[in-house]
Amino acid sequence: MSTAIVFNLNMTSERVEALVRRSLSCHWAPVTQAQFDETLDCAEALFHALVWKSDPEAHSTPQFLSLPERAIEAVFLILIREGGDTARCTLRGVCRAFRCVVFKCQDLWTDVTSFPPSIDAFMAAYLRSRWTSRPLSIRFDGLNRGRIQRPIPTNTLISLAFSHLDTLVVEHRLNIVGLLRILHRARHLPSLKTLVLTSEIGYPGFGLARAFENILPTVIAPSLQYLQLRCVYLLLQETTSLRVLRVDARVNGSNMFCLNRWPSRMLRNLLRSNGGLTVLHLVDAVKVEENRMNILSPVSLPALQELLICSATTSQPAWLLQTLDFPHTTHLRLHLGYGAAEAFDMDIFFRALGPHLRKRTIHSLVALPSFYLTGLLLSHDPRSTLPYWVNDPGLGALDENEVPHTLYAPVDGAVDMFFLWDAPGVDQVSWKCLFDGLSEYIHTELIRSVELNAEYEMDSADAFALFEDAWLPNVTKLRLWRDDKATLVSTLINMCTPCHDEGVSSRRLLEALLSMFPMLRRIVDVDARKIWDADTTVDLLEQILNGQGMQP
């Protein structure tokens, strides 16, 4: 039998009168646990008397509303998160069934920001969590960002709930330094599982060290599993269960500026205590300190699935890649160059990344140049593209200039690197530079698939610079994103002949293609969504020439 809710419209007048009397006898604003328990039983019985569970396929019964109860609760939760206690009161006034749902569903009473602002009503709502043994949450996030003028309890009332929180999300409204002081004073947060501090209000211009008089803000949160911080660092004592860690030191604004980067020793200690991490995002987050003692042992992260590193220079990713020991299945994403003021030290980058590449089997290569942005994607499996509106927390932390013109779905073991070179004094990082620097760590004979996806015109000589001296003897598949005005043949000519001569003979084109990819058996024209297959490279080129109305 389905759980679809159907209002009972066939009750007798005596039955309705009895239900009304029982409803009036309930304590809908309980102040003691006895009153709460009594009203909870009343609300359950009243709700099931007002509605019944029926088969939605049976159309004989008139249905005022037919939704799963959990769906109704989910809709109410969104309305209350957005509208606060005003929305809760409005829902309770719609009908008695809605009043019962609002009262008996504790999920609708966990967000402290939605509690009534008056002291008595706030305490009554707060006590519900004690009566039901359910933790509370504080959420200033996207759902209520546009409703910041709605009534909200005072900071003093909100701070009462800190010791009983399992979720604290502050993305706006609250002063971040004042909030850190409250956390530092509360210190012990035994139930806290999710902590997000990304509000841009209250950044100290001189950093946290001076704001706290050189004392680190400290929180003891042994149950913490999800941590996301922006321009904030914390000493997290007894935190050993983190699964997701996202740290961003960039201050929003037109000019790139970082504040309160994590000292490398502090970050290393946190990572060493949380070997169960599965996601690690570090956006300009590390202040690399000189190690005047012996070389420290690597930090093991055996469960890591995704590592995102963004930095203006190569020193931060080099330190992280040398410090962290993670599986060869970890998806590694590197975005370098945003805010750079000098040329990249590529040698230190290649030396740090090389050992991780040696552990991986690379079969697929995607060359992805955008305007002033060079991208190279290496992976075991072929890559597929994603829509540009995909919800990716990693991309949300990046500037638009750091994001390539085409997004690719993540795959296990992939290494995606992007170099932004739009700043004065920063030399262009070409594909040739990346390929030459990494070739000693990659078994190029194992590469089977090559994809070229350039944002600018594909007839540019730079678009094919990667392949001029590259020897990829076992490539069997070539994917090309040609220019709108170009044909597949002209794109192949630009790729294979240094002079880019449109009048080149088919024989010379074949010789050039064989010299680059002697085992080529498939060419994919991504723009035309056409695939060309053949048993030999010669037959493959003949098919393409015939298909374009040209003489082989």
Return phi, psi of residue 530, to 5°.
-120, 145
C-alpha to C-alpha distance for 252 and 106, rounded to whole angstroms: 37
In this model, does residue 461 exceed pLDDT 50? no
C-alpha to C-alpha distance for 500 and 484, rounded to whole angstroms: 17
Question: Do 183 and 198 touch, CB atoms closer than 8 A?
Answer: no
Q: For 117-124, what is the mean pLDDT?
A: 93
C-alpha to C-alpha distance for 35 and 71, rounded to whole angstroms: 28
pLDDT of residue 449: 94
More confident residue, 258 or 306: 306
- Sequence letter at residue 516: M
Q: List the one residue out of 87, 86, 89 whose CA is nearest residue 77.
A: 87
- Sequence letter at residue 510: L
In this model, does residue 356 exceed pLDDT 70? yes
pLDDT of residue 61: 43
Q: For 430-449, what is the mean pLDDT?
A: 89
Q: For 383-409, what is the mean pLDDT?
A: 86
Pairing of strands 279-283, 324-325: unpaired
Q: How many CA atoms lie within 13 A of 484 on its CB side?
A: 2
Highest mean pLDDT pick, 61-70, 151-160, 196-205: 151-160
Question: Which of 21-25, 68-72, 159-163, 303-307 bottoms out in mean pLDDT, i.e. has the lowest?
Answer: 21-25
- Residues in a beta bridge with 196: 169, 228
Handedness of CA 282, 285, 290, 296 (dihedral sign): negative
Query: Where does residue 214 rank: exposed (0-12), middle (13-18), buried (19+ CB within 10 A)?
Result: exposed
In this model, does residue 468 exceed pLDDT 60? no
In this model, does residue 517 exceed pLDDT 90? no
pLDDT (tens digit per residue) in 485-512 = 778 888 887 777 655 555 667 788 888 8
SS3 state at 318: helix
More confident residue, 277 or 71: 277
Helix-helix angle 431-438:346-358, to 10 degrees: 50
Share of the chain above pLDDT 70, in %: 85
**Burial letters 148-186, b for 16+ CB under 10 A, else e:** eebebbeeebbbebbebbbbbbbbeebebbebbeebbee
**Burial letters 318-339, b for 16+ CB under 10 A, else e:** bbbbbbbebbeebbbbbbbbbb
Q: For 32-57, what is the mean pLDDT?
A: 78
Name the average pLDDT for the chain.
85
User: Nearest 10 degrees: CA dihedral of 128, 131, 135, 140?
Assistant: 10
In this model, does residue 59 exceed pLDDT 50? no
The DSSP symbol for 354 reads H
Residue 501 CB coordination number (10 Å): 12
In this model, does residue 62 exceed pLDDT 50? no
Q: For 197-212, what is the mean pLDDT?
A: 74
pLDDT of residue 3: 46
More confident residue, 58 or 219: 219
At 178, the pLDDT band (50, 70, 90 cuts) reads confident
Alpha helices in 29-134 (DSSP H): 33-50, 69-92, 96-104, 119-132
DSSP 473-501: TT--EEEEE--TT--HHHHHHHHH-TT--
Question: Do 325 and 356 touch, CB atoms closer than 8 A?
Answer: no
Q: For 129-147, what is the mean pLDDT?
A: 87
Residue 364's alpha-carbon distances to 128, 329, 361, 464, 534, in angstroms, are: 56, 15, 9, 17, 20
pLDDT (tens digit per residue) in 295-351 = 678 999 999 999 999 999 999 999 999 999 999 999 999 999 998 988 999 999 999
Angle at 301 between CA 297 and CA 303, to 5 degrees: 160
User: For the chain, how many residues are written?
Assistant: 552
pTM: 0.89
In this model, does residue 56 exceed pLDDT 70? no
C-alpha to C-alpha distance for 316 and 294, rounded to whole angstroms: 19
Q: List the one residue out of 537, 309, 312, 286 whose CA is nearest residue 422.
A: 312
pLDDT of residue 459: 46
Residue keyed to tokens 């000189």: 290
In this model, does residue 102 exceed pLDDT 90? yes
pLDDT (tens digit per residue) in 422-435 = 888 888 888 778 88
Highest mean pLDDT pick, 179-183, 320-324, 426-430, 515-519: 320-324
